[in-house]
Amino acid sequence: MLILGGITFLCVVLMVVAAYFAIKTNDLLSSVIASSTVSLMASVLFLILQAPDVAMTEAAIGAGLSTFVFLIALRKTERFEREEEQ
């Protein structure tokens, strides 16, 4: 049981770090990958919580399809976010 607690803690920490990175970086490709990491860690947490159906849905839609849609949109725009001039 102690191992699951450690894995859960590691997943939560990874989610928070990836979410912070996704918000703070100016590289939109890195933001998409970081948000995909958040979704993938959420699916691992759902699996630990014994909800495999929700975990599979989160992995397929959240990490898979959403990342694909974001990458297609990013391909049609610029990769780097511009800094606002004041």
pLDDT digits (tens, 9 = 90+) for 4-18: 788 899 999 999 999
Question: What integer best gives the mean pLDDT of the chain?
Answer: 89
Identity of the residue numbered 44: V
pLDDT at 69 over 90: yes
For helices 2-24 and 28-48, give the axis angle rounded to 10 degrees: 160
pLDDT digits (tens, 9 = 90+) for 19-47: 999 999 988 999 999 999 999 999 999 99
Q: Region 60-81: what's the mean pLDDT?
A: 88
Ordered by start, the domain boundaries in the chain are 2-75
Distance separating alpha carbons of residues 78 and 60, to the nearest angstrom:
26
Return the closest-CA partner of residue 57 out of 77, 69, 66: 66
Return the percentage of the chain with pLDDT > 70, whole number: 93
